[in-house]
Amino acid sequence: MNSKIIVFTTVFLIAVCEKSDIEISLTKSGSIWKGLEISSTIEAQGQKNVDLSKWSGYHQKSMEERYEVLSDYLKSKVSQRDLEMDSATANEMIENCIGVLGLPIGIVPTLVMNNKHYVVPLATEEPSIIAACSSICKLISSSATHKGFVAVSTDKNVMIGQIQLLVQDPLETIPKVVHFIHDKRQEYVDTANAHFCESMHKRGGGVVDLVCKIIEPKAMTEKRSPYLCVHVYMDVCEAMGANAINHVCENLSDLIFADLSTTDFGSRVRVGIRILSNLSIYRRSKAAFRIPLRNLAWKGADGKEVASKILDAYHFACDDVFRACTHNKGVMNGIDSVCIALGQDYRAIEASAHAFASLKDRDRAYQPMTHYTIDEKTQELVGELELPVAVGTKGGSLQTHPGYRFTHQLLGNPSAKTIGEILCCIGLAQNFGALRALATEGIQAGHMRLQARNIALAAKVPIPNLSSCVNFMISKNSFDTKTALEFLAQKQSKHTPVATTTTITTTTTTVCTPQHTNCLDKIDEIIFLANSFFFLKKKKEQLNFLKYEAMQYVFVTIFLSKKKKENGNLERFS
């Protein structure tokens, strides 16, 4: 088929679809290109101060102290075991399971959204993400015009399923197929709800409409012609919805194909793939903040200067796709971390977000996900993020993994819409924090200070000495394994290392004294001895981390010296 016929067919079919009134609108705004309206929500909520004092200095607390604060917040005992999954359960979840891979999980305790406080869990191996989000959320909750973020979502959790219909003689066949499906549209909707998604329909969801869409091949060759795709619009309620939509599409396609087979043109139609689309444009959330310029002063720069530089960085992403890609990766740093902690399909959300960034402005290329402006009238910086977010609170592994049950409880067991709004708040906070750093001191200064702990661990610096090693690297302004090893060498040289080996009756083990080369490597095995001292335990709450760490080392050194003097050797303690 030549290109002129294809163009004519496309125009004709668009006219058919418009005449048939197949297009539907499922968003509050009435158009996916206009964006969700957020101003009315701001006016309705007004301003409200949320007390975050109990979370002050949370990052400086020990792990046990953090659990104590969380236990008080949730009014129930919290421990590491709440987050763990056993290998037997894991083995039932995936194929060829060989174990469970741990990932650090932390919290952003300072998010205020729609006048409500949230403690948001994030699972990530990358330092600085949680620190940046916490800092920005605290700033927005205390200094923004509306004392926190404001967020909204679309009315329904509508996802799209796709049924591909390949046709012969498209110029003649496609219009007939479009009219046929349109005439039986309500019958298909009712049948799907009654037989293919009955339980979801009873909960208020289910199939809401069908739309025929013409697909025009990108590569125009003699062998490829236009074909149809039936979009199945389905309200999936609180589920992410993939399995439900795929089930409906597969069964509905069989029904449509059977009905088409009774027509004189049905032999020219065959069914292709049946599957959901992860581009969930009718299931979106949006977060925004407004902050007076005077409250943006940071690192010696006044607020207007900081805001101006943030806009310069944002416009760079608008103008250059290479920068836009990195800009959006920063947004997803925060969003993906929350998704992993909550058991959401972060791969689908990320794919949808990047695709949506390519649709935001149909006259331009891939765009930044966030949007920043300065309101000259009110002298405020305005930040916004709107994304399609297909998340769920039911189904999948959410009821299987104990960690997911805990993280949802931590958020107050929110609805799917609320989770989508939280994701947008965290993504916006992470991006705003990155732009502020880039526009002022640069991204590496703060990031490498936090990354220093990981570098020290990789260099096998013992945990009790991590803080000292980090301070050493900061003083040297050098953040690499070589510097960490230099710290270890200096620390060991002060003790004139001498190796000692002891054979135990039940176990043969290499152990250490304060003069042993590997003393620092072994100290974590006996550190519990220091904790057993009544004095140290009693005084622990009154000491900051560095003083506590130093006293631990003193107690262990005294204990080992005493033990060696008494026994002439050193046994391994466990």
Any idea which residue has 């903040």 for tokens?
289
The whole-angstrom separation of Cα 215 and Cα 406 is 44
Beta partners for residue 370, in sequence order: 385
Whether 401 is catalytic: no
568 Ramachandran zone, left/alpha/beta (phi>0; psi -120 to 50): left
DSSP string computed for 302-360: -HHHHHHHHHHHHHHHHH-HHHHHHHHHHHHHHHHHHHHHHT--HHHHHHHHHHHHHHS
Whether 547 is catalytic: no
The whole-angstrom separation of Cα 513 and Cα 519 is 6
Q: Which residues contact 501 (CB under 8 A, 6 or more apart)?
A: 510, 511
Angle at 285 between CA 283 and CA 286, to 5 degrees: 150
Nearest Cα to 522, choosing from 533, 509, 532, 534?
509
The whole-angstrom separation of Cα 61 and Cα 5 is 71
Q: Which tokens hold the place of 343?
A: 């058991």
Residues comprising the chain, all counted: 574
Q: Is 135 helix (H, G, I), strand (E, B) or coil?
A: helix
Is residue 311 within 8 A of residue 372, CB to CB? The reply is yes
164 Ramachandran zone, left/alpha/beta (phi>0; psi -120 to 50): beta
The whole-angstrom separation of Cα 141 and Cα 148 is 4
In the set 65, 68, 126, 525, the catalytic residue is: 126
In the set 345, 441, 480, 549, the catalytic residue is: 345
Task: State the DSSP H helix or E strand holding residue 437, giving kind and residue range, or none if neither.
Answer: helix 416-439
Is residue 250 within 8 A of residue 232, CB to CB? The reply is no
In the set 116, 247, 309, 329, the catalytic residue is: 329
Whether 345 is catalytic: yes
Alpha carbons within 13 angstroms on the beta-carbon side of residue 562 total 6
b/e string for 98-137 if b means 16 or more Cβ within 10 A? eeeeeeebbbbbbbbbbbebbbbbbbbeebbbbbbbbbbb
How far is C-alpha 552 from the geometric centre of its chain's CA atoms? 38
- CA-to-CA dists, residue 242 to 239, 249, 274, 568, angstroms: 8, 11, 12, 68
Q: Which tokens hold the place of 467?
A: 């803080």
Whether 354 is catalytic: no
Q: Which residues contact 137 (CB under 8 A, 6 or more apart)?
A: 108, 110, 111, 112, 425, 429
Is residue 292 within 8 A of residue 304, CB to CB? The reply is no
- Map 30-92 to HEC letters: CCCCCCCCCHHHHHHHCCCCCCCHHHCCHHHCCHHHHHHHHHHHHCCCCCHHHHCCCHHHHHH
Q: Which tokens hold the place of 269?
A: 């139609």
Which sequence positions are flagged as catalytic? 126, 329, 345, 447
